[in-house]
């Protein structure tokens, strides 16, 4: 039997993609803000409920460029509980990441702990809406306002997420998205920056294209972060299918919650209030009272062809290029350390059948009954 992986891209029928490719073959416009690129920026603004979007090659270059666009330097406060691209984008800009612990319920940067980490060198906060759960954007904004700091949200997981009827991508100074193959909405590789105004978008667009303003004028040491026309075309097609993909994801999450709620030693994340979610991940936290350890459960599922992932273990602050930093010391990050040793993301993608979900839940129930020493 084919293994069931943590995710799998939702691919529309290939025949639907061919007309887009024919158009590209006709126009010969392969990149550099072609018509489909422009159309995708416009359609995404509509779909997401934001004013300005700049498409990128991937989410990481979007992060690197967002930091450049706001001229961020010195130290930036961020979460250790995320994908390593966030902190790497700081290093690529010569910025020191300062890790701050996470909230035990949302697993997002804990706003109550930010203030204590601010120094005269702090210029910005870079929180992550982890698993698409919105950060406490009001509390974070309050700290940023009090200390005159910028906020760049890493919204790589938060495509389409709205809270209190408003796109979460409108919070802070900038938000970045990832359209990687493993994301709810993908363009194979891809990403974007959401800006609040046309001027900021223009600066970002210049930075994305080597700093070119016109044929003879270069205003900044920009990079090549442009999304190609083929990726943009695929995005246009994906957008037609994304609602049905999210609806199926919601159905799978509901099944998981129904089958796994109340299992001794397992914690499921709370559903955030007044939020329309994208159901991008389904993390479970394996506590001491569960029959076996998190790693034993991971192996148990794997031995049955179920490939969950320990997103996010190890913490970013544990990697060699970060662990020497003062903010990386484990005693300052107790919640993140505990959660990263408990978390397991179960498979969640639109192609999962109900029977797959039942099977996975049955294996989890079975594991809960395994004696600790056998499975360790």
Min. distance of Cβ 275 from ligand T4K in angstroms? 18
User: Which residues inside 24-63 make contact with ligand T4K, applying CB under 6 A?
Assistant: 58-60
| Cα 358 from Cα 317, distance rounded (Å) | 36
Q: Which is nearer to ligand T4K, 60 or 278 (CB)?
A: 60
- Residue 333 class from Cβ within 10 Å (0-12 exposed, 13-18 middle, 19+ buried)? buried
Residue 154 within binding range of ligand T4K, rule CB under 6 A: yes
CB of 261 to ligand T4K, least distance (A): 25
Report d(CA 52, CA 136) in Å as an integer.
23
Candidates 98, 114, 128, 237; binder of ligand T4K (CB under 6 A) is 128
- Contact flag: residue 6 with ligand T4K (CB under 6 A): yes
Q: How far is the CB of 303 from ligand T4K (least distance, A)?
A: 16
* DSSP tag of 209: B
Told to check if 209 binds ligand T4K by CB under 6 A, we report no
Taking the CB of residue 187, how many other CB atoms lie within 10 A of it? 29
193 by DSSP, 3-state: which? strand
Nearer to ligand T4K, 144 or 155 (CB): 155
Binding segment for ligand T4K (CB under 6 A), chosen from 131-139, 150-158, 197-205, 215-223, is: 150-158
307 contributes a contact to ligand T4K by CB under 6 A: yes
Task: Work out whether 182 is an interface residue with ligand T4K (CB under 6 A).
Answer: yes
* Buried b or exposed e, range 23-37, using 16+ CB within 10 angstroms: ebeeeeeeeebbebb
Using an 8 Å Cβ cutoff, are 192 and 55 in contact? yes
CA distances for 250 relative to 93, 124, 256, 312, angstroms: 38, 34, 10, 22
Least Å distance, CB 58 to ligand T4K, is 4
| Residue ranges in contact with ligand T4K by CB under 6 A | 5-9, 58-60, 82-83, 85-86, 128, 154, 156-157, 178, 180-182, 191, 307, 309, 311
């Amino acid at each position: 039997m084919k293994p069931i992986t943590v995710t799998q891209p939702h691919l529309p029928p290939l025949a639907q993609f061919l007309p887009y490719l024919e158009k590209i073959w006709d126009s010969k416009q392969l990149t550099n803000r072609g018509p489909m690129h422009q159309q995708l920026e416009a359609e995404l603004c509509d779909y997401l409920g934001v004013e300005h979007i700049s498409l990128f090659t991937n989410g990481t270059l979007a992060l690197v460029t967002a930091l450049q666009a706001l001229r961020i330097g010195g130290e930036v406060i961020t979460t250790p509980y995320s994908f390593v691209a966030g902190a790497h984008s700081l290093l690529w800009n010569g910025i020191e990441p300062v890790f701050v612990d996470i909230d035990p319920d949302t697993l997002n940067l804990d706003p109550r702990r930010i203030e204590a980490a601010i120094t005269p060198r702090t210029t910005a906060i870079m929180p992550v809406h982890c698993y698409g759960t919105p950060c406490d954007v009001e509390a974070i904004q309050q700290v940023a306002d009090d200390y005159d700091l910028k906020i760049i949200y890493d919204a790589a997981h938060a495509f389409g997420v709205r809270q209190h009827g408003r796109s979460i991508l409108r919070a802070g100074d900038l938000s970045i998205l990832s359209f990687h193959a493993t994301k709810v909405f993908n363009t194979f590789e891809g990403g974007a920056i959401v800006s609040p105004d046309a001027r900021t978008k223009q600066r970002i667009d210049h930075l994305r294209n080597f700093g070119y303003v016109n044929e003879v004028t270069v205003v900044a040491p920009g990079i090549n972060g442009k999304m190609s026309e083929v990726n943009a075309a695929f995005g246009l097609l994906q957008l037609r299918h994304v609602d049905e993909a999210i609806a199926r994801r919601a159905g799978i999450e509901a099944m998981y919650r129904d089958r796994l709620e109340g299992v001794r030693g397992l914690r499921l994340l709370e559903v955030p209030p007044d939020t329309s979610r994208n159901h991008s991940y389904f993390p479970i936290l394996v506590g001491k009272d569960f029959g076996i350890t998190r790693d034993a459960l991971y192996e148990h599922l794997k031995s049955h062809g179920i490939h969950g992932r320990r997103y996010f273990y190890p913490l970013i602050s544990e990697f060699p290029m970060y662990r020497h930093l003062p903010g990386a010391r484990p005693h300052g990050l107790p919640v993140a350390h505990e959660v990263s040793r408990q978390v397991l993301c179960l498979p969640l993608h639109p192609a999962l059948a109900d029977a797959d979900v039942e099977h996975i839940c049955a294996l989890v129930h079975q594991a809960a009954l395994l004696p600790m020493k056998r499975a360790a």
